[in-house]
Structure 1
Amino acid sequence: MSTNNHKVTWHTHYALLILAIIYIFNYIDRLLVSILIEPIKLEFGVSDTLIGLLSGVAFALFYTVFGLPFSRLADRIGRKPVVAMACIAWSLMTMLCGVATSFAMLLLFRIGVAVGEAGGSAPSVAMISDLYPANQRSRALAVFLMGPALGAVFGLGAGGWIAEMYGWRWAFIIIGAPGVLLGLILALTVRAPTRTASDASLPQESFAKTVRSLTRTPSYLLIVTAGSVAAIAGYAIGTWNPSFLIRSHGLSLKEAGILMGLGGGMMSVVGTLACGWFTDRMVNKDTGWQLGTALLGTVISIPFGLLFFLWPAGTAFMLGEIAVPTAFFFYLGFAFFGTWWTVPCFGSMSHLFPAHKLAQGTAIFFMGITLLGVGLGPLVVGILSDFFTLTIGSEALRYALASTIGLLAITCICFAYAIPRYRQQVATPADSIATQTATA
């Protein structure tokens, strides 16, 4: 298990703040393509399937390939330098997307974003686990994991506004620039936890042996599977929702970005924080609630998601000049509970693995949710949308997105099976678990 010998001070909270802001820009850069789908399609004349390739498979494959090696490096040399360099790299690549002169060049630069982001997320989670004691970890991770939600707020809202005012290229350039500065701030001003003598003296396992010991850990594969399947639905919805509001509810690019960013994004922020608070509170009573909250939130999110996509077009009220669809109220509920699988899953890693394997264990989880979520989610919806167009016509995207909600039932089943296994492992001494995984 990950341990923490550092006293929590303002330096600790400052480090969390910088990591959280970096993660926000990580997701701003990642999600920016979703609000720019329509102008990119118009300029390069590509299909929904190719857009799914751009925002999904191409990104996911390279993120997955580089994720574990970067996390292995972070476990060896420290989390901070890896995260700082990764942040600078993906931010520069995002800016370059704005100067792409062809779809192939844009695809190449998006691959560069993926390689850079592969070195950011898992080492950041491991660094936060090093900084905070176990009884504060879910709340600390909840602050960090607001990144996707706040990334949606600023990325979709600001991205849509910049694209409408100045063109989609400037959206990439302007939004990518701050990340370069953030990487430098992290490197120069944040105090990272120092490695203990016992950590430094541990023998370095081979890559294959480390992966075997991680994947043979009880409950771990179920957690990875649950998160990966949830991510398929999550990334598909996050990528295609603006286009759904444009095509099925008649909103403009800017209006869709404002609703998805401010409305859905802020509800996700509140939901993530509520999940972190609720998880820490309930785990004090029963360790099984570390995953029980993930199961609870996912179950509640399913009907909200189905109602959002299947509710007919119609205006609930006017928000200034924006005609807010009635269906959007259901999305607010989905946004609140749909993030509840994230905090418990990441928090569970810090209880399952020792510090010198934590970034690698977290990286495998990120690899699963990225390869399947980012990789398959947007692509599957793009393929289904193109297929349904032949029979359904303009409402094809609505039913393509509704189809992905059913996948969350698989996530619920995995969490239900993982809870007793996780509870048993947390109650078992770490040395016993290490022996089991080493000799299995």
Structure 2
Amino acid sequence: MELHTTAAGADGHVVAAPVTADASAPRPRRRYPWLVFALAFGLLLADYMSRQVLSAVFPFLKSEWALSDSQLASLTSVVALMVGILTLPLSVLADRWGRVRSLVLMAVLWSAATLLCALAAGYHQMLAARFLVGVGEAAYGSVGIAVVVGVFAPRVHAALSGAFMAGGSFGSVLGVGLGGVIAVHLGWRWSFATMAIFGLLLALLFRAVVSEAKLARHATAADAWHTQRGKAFRAPVSTLFTNPAVLCAYVGSALQIFTAAVLLSWMPSYFNREYDLAPDRAGAVASVFVLLIGAGMVCCGMITDRVGQADMSRKWTAAIVFCTISLLCLAVGFRLGTGPLQLLLIGVGAFFSGGSSGPAAAMVANLTHPSVRASAFGTLTLANSLLGLALGPFVVGVLADRVGLATALGLAPLAYLVAIAALLLGKRVYPAGLRKLGSVEPAPSL
């Protein structure tokens, strides 16, 4: 039996090179990669459910412990802080220590920490528990997606990456929705306990089904070859920052998620202030737009994989188109008066607001060596966190204090202009990026 890996030719195109495989080895089952994806996606849901359930119990904690708004905010911020600080170093460690073991350890840690939240007797104990939640969740997204793309062909990487990233939106909605219902009927401590139990059960199931050996047997042809050689070779971590095309993917992804992060954070307040909706109803309406963002990531990823089947560089073009659509719809929508037309345009803009996440992640996977892929996604997560998820809501908050929330939201999509510029540059230097990747490790002999 003969497999094929890929290497960049002198013209930047990807060419196939044969890799010999053991003919007696059992043929990988096609269903197993999808089982890996389902379990990894389930853990991602558990990740964000554990992270966001806190928002559902804010009123209970404020009343029971007499907490200020700044103290409540710190319980949320400490998780984001630890994720931002630890994503890259823990991703590098996972590449060296083993991705499956790292994922299981992370899931157990954040689930156990969530259980400690249920047992907390006061603010300081809750803060310490939330600190541990952030440590456990820090690198799950980057390592989890690295495991998933390793067992699927590159032609579906954009769809899988988009779906995986969309899990954050879906998990957030589930965490807040279920957490609120449980808190009302059983008490806020059971909200945390339920999320913890769900995460622990999934971690045990993941450990029972997924292993490094099974992942190696189901690895794609290119990854299989690198896995065979990878025992003696690991690409330097510096390669994550010396390929111009990869840097463009990092920046383009981070700045396109800037606006999606703004919508996630500020839409409840927008509906409360501009549409005069009560806070609970404003949150419910905003959750529809959150779901649109997640659905858009999945659908745009699928579209990208289809248009990029014949030419991978078209994935850059798809990302640029998604950014342009969202820019136009949101910029116009927020300048209109309240009403159905505005909601329609904002809805379309929200759908495409994170659509470039899948294509950008696919480019990162295609332009980095498999031995440091979790580290590459850790770098992508770091860029998304610092330039998008953290910066976007903060900048709009500062602008809102000066020009009003509606005007600030209308200015936020301008970040797409820089994202589009980065993606255009990335497409231009993509062939050179492939050649640079090919030079990291000698191609297999023909």
Give the TM interval when normalised to the shorter protein.
0.7 to 0.9
**Aligned runs of 1:126-165 on 2, under 5 Å?**
126-162=146-182
Specify the alignment match of 2:375 in structure 1. 360
Higher mean C-alpha displacement, 412-421 vs 7-16: 7-16
For the pair shown, which has the larger CA radius of gyration, 1 or 2? 2
Specify the alignment match of 2:16 in structure 1. none
- From 411, 435, 439, give the equivalent of 1:432: 439
Aligned residues: 408
- From 97, 101, 104, give the equivalent of 1:84: 104
Specify the alignment match of 1:298 in structure 2. 323
**Within the alignment, does 1:267 sit opposite 2:292 as a pair?**
yes
Specify the alignment match of 1:238 in structure 2. 264
In 1, Cα distance between the equivalents of 2:329 and 2:209?
Answer: 43
State the 1:46 CA deviation: 2.2
State the 1:14 CA deviation: 0.7
- From 194, 198, 206, give the equivalent of 1:174: 194
Q: Sort the Cα spacing of 1:408 and 1:197 in 2 relative to 1 into closer, same or farther, 3 A.
A: same
Higher mean C-alpha displacement, 17-26 vs 246-255: 246-255
Q: Sort the Cα spacing of 1:375 and 1:336 in 2 relative to 1 into closer, same or farther, 3 A.
A: closer
Specify the alignment match of 1:193 in structure 2. 215
Structure 2 SS opposite 1:132: coil
Structure 2 SS opposite 1:250: coil
Higher mean C-alpha displacement, 252-261 vs 347-356: 252-261
**Within the alignment, does 1:219 sit opposite 2:242 as a pair?**
no
In 2, Cα distance between the equivalents of 1:163 and 1:34?
Answer: 11
Specify the alignment match of 2:48 in structure 1. 27
Structure 1 SS opposite 2:150: helix
In 2, Cα distance between the equivalents of 1:34 and 1:14?
Answer: 31
Counterpart contact for 1:142–1:273, Cα < 8 Å: yes
- From 198, 204, 213, give the equivalent of 1:184: 204
Structure 2 SS opposite 1:251: coil
Amino acid at match of 1:367: L
Counterpart contact for 2:103–2:144, Cα < 8 Å: yes
Amino acid at match of 1:14: L
In 2, Cα distance between the equivalents of 1:377 and 1:174?
Answer: 31
In 1, Cα distance between the equivalents of 2:343 and 2:54?
Answer: 22
Counterpart contact for 1:61–1:371, Cα < 8 Å: no
What TM-score results when the alignment is normalised by the length of structure 2? 0.79
Q: Sort the Cα spacing of 1:59 and 1:36 in 2 relative to 1 into closer, same or farther, 3 A.
A: same
Counterpart contact for 1:297–1:337, Cα < 8 Å: yes
Amino acid at match of 2:429: R
Q: CA deviation digits over 1:122-179, x for unaligned, max 9?
A: 1111111211122233333343233123224423433454456667665444334311
In 1, Cα distance between the equivalents of 2:405 and 2:73?
Answer: 13
Q: Sort the Cα spacing of 1:354 and 1:161 in 2 relative to 1 into closer, same or farther, 3 A.
A: same
What TM-score results when the alignment is normalised by the length of structure 1? 0.80
Specify the alignment match of 1:414 in structure 2. 422
Q: Sort the Cα spacing of 1:232 and 1:105 in 2 relative to 1 into closer, same or farther, 3 A.
A: farther
Amino acid at match of 2:378: A
Q: CA deviation digits over 1:37-83, x for unaligned, max 9?
A: 67767752325xx7666545x43432133222222222123211111
Amino acid at match of 1:431: G
- From 364, 370, 379, give the equivalent of 2:385: 370
**Aligned runs of 1:386-405 on 2, under 5 Å?**
387-388=401-402, 396-405=404-413
**Aligned runs of 1:92-131 on 2, under 5 Å?**
92-98=112-118, 106-131=126-151
Counterpart contact for 1:229–1:407, Cα < 8 Å: yes
Counterpart contact for 1:82–1:119, Cα < 8 Å: no
Q: CA deviation digits over 1:356-387, x for unaligned, max 9?
A: 111111111111112333333333444444x3
In 2, Cα distance between the equivalents of 1:409 and 1:247?
Answer: 28
**Within the alignment, does 1:334 sit opposite 2:356 as a pair?**
no
In 2, Cα distance between the equivalents of 1:155 and 1:113?
Answer: 14
In 1, Cα distance between the equivalents of 2:56 and 2:408?
Answer: 18
Q: CA deviation digits over 1:5-47, x for unaligned, max 9?
A: 8845212111111111111222333444556667767752325
Amino acid at match of 1:248: E
Structure 1 runs not aligned, ≥5 long: 317-325, 436-440
What RMSD in Å do the two structures reach over aligned CA positions?
A: 3.3
Specify the alignment match of 1:320 in structure 2. none
Specify the alignment match of 1:319 in structure 2. none
State the 1:429 CA deviation: 7.2
**Within the alignment, does 1:17 sit opposite 2:43 as a pair?**
no
Counterpart contact for 1:272–1:336, Cα < 8 Å: yes
State the 1:102 CA deviation: 5.7
Q: CA deviation digits over 1:191-249, x for unaligned, max 9?
A: 4413833111225x7xxxx3422101121112111222233332232123223323433
Q: Sort the Cα spacing of 1:126 and 1:61 in 2 relative to 1 into closer, same or farther, 3 A.
A: same
Amino acid at match of 1:146: A
In 2, Cα distance between the equivalents of 1:107 and 1:309?
Answer: 37
Counterpart contact for 1:138–1:276, Cα < 8 Å: yes
Structure 2 SS opposite 1:219: helix
Higher mean C-alpha displacement, 372-381 vs 344-353: 372-381
State the 1:407 CA deviation: 1.8
Q: Sort the Cα spacing of 1:167 and 1:356 in 2 relative to 1 into closer, same or farther, 3 A.
A: same
Specify the alignment match of 1:65 in structure 2. 85
